[in-house]
Structure 1
């Protein structure tokens, strides 16, 4: 360019879809002049040609980007992840480096989608993505594999410890609440880890083994990471087979409800019966809920199973009342997806109406994790159920969020002390101190306090000394069939009558 401005110039805009991108023109530094229509036509043609070329380049770039990226999160997609994985494997093989592949699943994300809608779910995915990216190194890749599942590629690691540090960092970074459109949302993650070369030397094997480790992390209760072991492949296939059997189990009514009593140790009276579902598998025998509830939640079968358990338990309690036995409350556990189900209140009302059980004889149990997934939603749901007359118990208290502030806000009726504290009561002063504090807290808030997992006389006596009256555990009874539970209630009733008569005679004397 000349240091002096041109004496005459002609400029034509370059536009793409009516958006200005720049100019093309002629300049004359020697004289002022009139530009001819021919010169102007040349510029117009050149501008149109350049604009068309730029538009094609942008379209091609957009197509390339969309082919290799997830549009919602902006992360690499499967295609780009697979390409980077192939390159990373070549480099690792050439330089004898270790590398890691990780599968990550956002726990219970589907529940949020189901209850609050996909718009909130999409915002949550975008926010979670930003937190996940903050945990990675510069050369690491995180890709959206699909839905709420992500894949991580960690090239050039020193060993398993490097991968587990990042996995723990991810678990920790997701713990704080997400504020999405006025909702306080909590999510956790399950992570499966496979290391090159010991867990696989090709992309397919590493991905399969990381996925098997993810399956194991979910089976272990979620919110954890697992490193691949060869045994996990058979475990993953067993879980898949079990998941397929669940459909048949519902159709053939293979589920059965057992009942475990809750006892007032001062009076000897049974106050509650907790309904516990079991799966009577034709080949595998009795399967505990720990094994199949997670699977049922993932494939949506939990709604049918949960409604059946609620119906069965309420009908059984009404049958006990109709038989003239003392009236006890029936306690039924709710899973995450059950509680978040929009129609839960209507379902409970319908079951109570059909079984003719009065609402005050039903207690629904939820965990801290369930309550804290969406605080506002949970508070409203609990209030609706309580207005109906149903009681709400906070199960496994002490191992989750345990915020005194939210405990007051939710307005629970009952606190159930987690068995982990009860188990260590005799030998661990900290467990005893925590248990004592929970009991005092519950009493201060006018809540019923129940100790779970009581297995020894020493534990019972220790709890009594801390002013805990209601207990549940193997010391009093294992879970019983409906027939066995009926007999226990009959025996307990007779015992109460005998004690009443004895006390009356002693009083007369």
Structure 2
């Protein structure tokens, strides 16, 4: 510029130059002043553009989070709805059975129908499943009645709508409960309702999906905003029991109003809130088939976008410095968007222990795999580790987690294309297989080892016959098959068949019959004598539970005892036998007849009840029977499972005058160490010690040593299963004299044992 001025100055007249020079100076000053303004305007423009673009980017990221979160909450809503429908259908089955009975009997008048329902209720109502008549009255066989006509769930069912109640207080035991209620329809009229009562924990397990690892949480609320269920998470600790009120009080007034309006109109939606300084994303949707229930799933912003603020600031810096690298910024944005989606999927679909699939991911992949082909040869296999709790107990949870990961990696490495594997929970796994032949499963599961451990599995397989059946139902059937062989030596896989359905029906019928038998007092004691082998003198007896049906038929203990132990009904049977033994002894004492001690068996389940000892003592005091005539009999395995507190229990029993007997010694754990730690009074040697062996001399040494050891510990010996004279001779040679077995007498009705007791010998 300077050279040009000089040149012009030399060749042009002065006057012309002067005007032009002043103009140029003015232009230069203007340019000096305008450049900062222009740069400021550019900076403002760039800042506006950057802010606009970044807000757009943030909105896109939030929109992506919204879409992904809504997809996941919808999937889990469907899972909850599926579980609830299974339970509603179970009640519909009961309703249909009742109406089928009414149709068969030909009843038509309201009076006949009401009388039939009343009689049916008295016989079948339980504390968890019960029937109400059309007036809302529930009746039990013990004379108790409850009027639920004012309850909302009954009114809805009476109008023909199956529904689930909000959280309420049980009038039976005062606990928090939920109730599923369905109408009982007959000839297109509602004649009553069928209800199933669920505890808070049971409904929580049914209605709470696992999302976002430990960071996310969920609420289930009703249309008025009251919280029905929520996850056990710090984020769920509101100041009240109303979700709207907590949102409003935490400063989220618009979100509270939006949520309330959407829920009033049964709309799904998404909202952003800030609670306690944390930004949260929440998706909500109505739960189908659950009247007036809405699922809200929340996840902290920093969980799904932990580096969001850093990334946004980086974008600001890049765009402010070089606008021309916009294309690379878009590329980075697309990468971050995909990473954010992957982060959401990882939280929902990646198991934190194995690094493999969660059950949610399994459901998605299994459905996709089955829908991708017209072939139908699919199998659902559920398997778990036998006695995994002992691995955690003896090796620690960190070691147990490594075992779980090793199993996942080992099994997944043996899968074929199109097959899927996931860990459900704890040590439970599920797989979708194309080939479930026994040889393949044996190769898949029988060769897994980890360090010094050899792992054993129990697996159940369900062959998919209807791909639209629902993954959860398929898994339930595989679980049923697996349960069939749980704890069975030599069997690791069971295949689901229709026989399982029939067995379940028979088992349910047996449960109802046993419950009815308990209520009717049909269980009676048969007493087997204990005899001195030298004098044949009667020295005691053992009360064994027998079931005499109303028709007088004796039902074998092998039919009902295993089921009663699984369901816990054995506790009621044990106490019934105990009370009848007390009545038997009291009657003979009143008649002046000398009585011998009678041992009564008690299941290990009693040891979990803190009131067990008090119940035993109260019953004895009620009948005023000397404690010396009662022997409390526990199995060896029951003592072993409760070894930490059995010493305190036996000491308390001794303080009340009772004797303690260890039954089946030698049939299970055979831990001699137990005899050191547990002050028992009577040791009942299992009949297995009497059986012939390859080396009877070794058997005799062990037998005699046990007898000698027990004698030195001042423990009385009773030998069970004595059936032959050779057994008696073995006892004589080993120095024990009290026997119980068919050689002397079989278990007999109490009337027959009364004759033996009067006689004093067998």
> Structure 1 residues 429, 101: CA separation in 2 closer, same or farther (over 3 Å shift)?
farther
Matched, 1:160 2:441: no
Q: Provide the C-alpha distance between the structure 2 equivalents of 1:126 and 1:308, rounded to a whole number of angstroms.
A: 46
When the two structures are superposed, what TM-score results if normalisation uses the length of structure 1?
0.67
What is the RMSD computed on CA atoms of the aligned residues? 5.3
Q: Provide the C-alpha distance between the structure 2 equivalents of 1:336 and 1:190, rounded to a whole number of angstroms.
A: 26
Q: Residue in 2 aligned with 1:362?
A: 630
1:13-162 matches, within 5 Å, as: 21=307, 23=310, 24-25=313-314, 60-61=344-345, 64-65=348-349, 80=361, 82=363, 101-102=381-382, 137-139=410-412, 141-144=422-425, 150=428, 152-153=430-431, 155=433, 159-160=437-438
Matched, 1:423 2:707: no
SS in 1 for 2:743: coil
Q: Residue in 2 aligned with 1:339?
A: 607
Q: Residue in 2 aligned with 1:242?
A: 510
Q: Residue in 1 aligned with 2:735?
A: 467
Q: Provide the C-alpha distance between the structure 1 equivalents of 2:496 and 2:725, rounded to a whole number of angstroms.
A: 41
**TM superposition shift of 1:453:** 0.8
Q: What are the ranges of 5 or more consecutive residues in structure 2 without an aligned counterpart?
A: 1-57, 59-276, 280-300, 324-329, 413-420
Q: Residue in 1 aligned with 2:578?
A: 310
The partner residue of 1:411 within 670, 675, 679 is: 679
Matched, 1:194 2:194: no
Q: Provide the C-alpha distance between the structure 2 equivalents of 1:356 and 1:194, rounded to a whole number of angstroms.
A: 56
Q: Provide the C-alpha distance between the structure 2 equivalents of 1:370 and 1:356, rounded to a whole number of angstroms.
A: 28
Q: Provide the C-alpha distance between the structure 2 equivalents of 1:467 and 1:91, rounded to a whole number of angstroms.
A: 74
> Structure 1 residues 236, 168: CA separation in 2 closer, same or farther (over 3 Å shift)?
farther
SS in 2 for 1:239: helix
Q: What are the ranges of 5 or more consecutive residues in structure 1 without an aligned counterpart?
A: 1-13, 30-34, 40-45, 110-119, 177-188, 496-509
Larger C-alpha radius of gyration, 1 or 2?
Answer: 2
1:194-343 matches, within 5 Å, as: 194=461, 210-214=478-482, 216-217=484-485, 227-228=494-495, 233-282=501-550, 285-343=553-611
Q: Provide the C-alpha distance between the structure 1 equivalents of 2:713 and 2:626, rounded to a whole number of angstroms.
A: 25
**TM superposition shift of 1:60:** 4.6
Q: Provide the C-alpha distance between the structure 2 equivalents of 1:87 and 1:434, rounded to a whole number of angstroms.
A: 62
Q: Provide the C-alpha distance between the structure 1 equivalents of 2:551 and 2:381, rounded to a whole number of angstroms.
A: 36
**TM superposition shift of 1:16:** 7.1
**TM superposition shift of 1:236:** 3.6
CA contact (8 A) 2:355 2:405 kept: no
When the two structures are superposed, what TM-score results if normalisation uses the length of structure 2?
0.47
Q: Provide the C-alpha distance between the structure 2 equivalents of 1:269 and 1:74, rounded to a whole number of angstroms.
A: 69
> Structure 1 residues 222, 334: CA separation in 2 closer, same or farther (over 3 Å shift)?
farther
SS in 1 for 2:748: coil
Q: Provide the C-alpha distance between the structure 2 equivalents of 1:167 and 1:272, rounded to a whole number of angstroms.
A: 51
Q: Provide the C-alpha distance between the structure 2 equivalents of 1:254 and 1:149, rounded to a whole number of angstroms.
A: 41
Q: Residue in 1 aligned with 2:757?
A: 489
Q: Provide the C-alpha distance between the structure 1 equivalents of 2:493 and 2:742, rounded to a whole number of angstroms.
A: 32
SS in 2 for 1:312: helix
> Structure 1 residues 213, 59: CA separation in 2 closer, same or farther (over 3 Å shift)?
closer
Q: Provide the C-alpha distance between the structure 1 equivalents of 2:554 and 2:620, rounded to a whole number of angstroms.
A: 28
Matched, 1:349 2:589: no
**1:140-159 CA deviation, whole Å, 9 max, x = no partner?**
54424xxx994543858785
> Structure 1 residues 232, 413: CA separation in 2 closer, same or farther (over 3 Å shift)?
same
> Structure 1 residues 462, 152: CA separation in 2 closer, same or farther (over 3 Å shift)?
farther
**TM superposition shift of 1:244:** 2.1
The answer to which of 341-350 and 288-297 deviates more is 288-297
